[in-house]
Amino acid sequence: MNERLVVVVGYHGVELLDIASVTSTLDMANRMGAAPAYRMVFVTPGGAAVECNSGLTLSGQQALEQVNDAIDTVIVSGGLGHADAAADERFVGHVRRLARHARRVASVCTGASVLAAGGLLDGKRATTHWFYASEIAAAYPKVEFDPEPIFVRHGNVATSGGVTSALDLTLAFIEEDHGAELARRISMGLVTYLRRPGDQAQVSVFVGNPEPAHRLVHRLVEYITAHLAGDLGIEALGAVVGVSERHLTRLFVAELGETPARYVRRTRVEAAARLLTSSGLRLDDIAGQCGFASAETLRQAFSAQFGVAPSVYRTRQRVRADSAP
């Protein structure tokens, strides 16, 4: 095979970032030597231009109805126009036709509603953007929608959560096709913080908290996330921004509802949970990377926050992954 044809499906009201998260990631894979390379084609009804959520117009490269090439992967984008697209029987029928001949089928964000409308998710576990999950689940009761994971894979069908979670799914595809090292290099090239595992929650400690309005607290939150293994004691944090420990504590409590020490501890535990599910690192190594003095210190903090020991958490996540069809 000289190339892998990836058909990205769009429609009026599509989200541009849903498309770019896929195509830019695959393009970087090509530039880093992926072989066979990916050939991406953006298809629309009639090959017409479509208006994105943002108001920008995106030209179709080919008519959805005329795609007859051997397809490696078909990916349906999400967007505010997803409900109208899913209600268009002709549109859905052609997506279903492409899916029958593709090695992989996937959706981004609310694009899951199109796959569901075509019966491609019946009896399967799937995900979509957490904000729209209950609405889409009610419309398609034959699908087991789970709003939490970043992406879900069920056989050759994959669904991803909100918007940029498509980047994580695309990296997983690249790792499957070309190996973990290329996926890692692409993650570095795209300046992603981590290549997140699919079962990580869409809303985590890093995005679930309100954004600090105070510039100083915002700066420290970013500093803490980037320096988990370093000295994050209150004295060291105060020195970073040049304020007293007492003033720093007042700011954190006012902005985040907890002291700097509690915030640091919780963030480190969350990072450890991510490494437990996304790597085979020993607990000692995870403790060191996340700023804990020892594996025992990590165990105590982890159990206090999650209610289970790290080893139990890792086992449960592996069982969950292994039991997925």
Cα 31 to chain centroid, rounded: 22
Nearest Cα neighbor of 127 from 102, 103, 109, 139 is: 109
Q: How far apart are CA 304 and CA 277, in angstroms?
A: 18
Please state whether 82 falls in left (phi above 0), alpha (psi between -120 and 50) or beta. Answer: alpha
DSSP E strands in the chain: the ranges are 3-9, 37-44, 50-51, 57-58, 62-63, 71-76, 102-107, 125-126, 144-145, 151-154, 157-160
Q: What does R_g of the chain's alpha carbons equal in angstroms?
A: 22
Q: How far apart are CA 201 and CA 279, in angstroms?
A: 17
Q: List the beta bridge partners of residue 62.
A: 43
Task: Give the type of residue at 298.
Answer: L
Catalytic site positions? 109
Burial of 270 (0-12, 13-18, 19+ CB in 10 A): buried
Pairing mode, if any, of strands 102-107 and 37-44?
unpaired
The count of residues in the chain is: 325
Contacts of 154 (CB under 8 A, 6+ apart): 121, 124, 125, 126, 324, 325
CA distances from 175 to 187, 211, 298, 325 (A): 11, 33, 30, 19
Query: How many Cα atoms sit within 13 Å of 89 on the Cβ side?
Result: 0
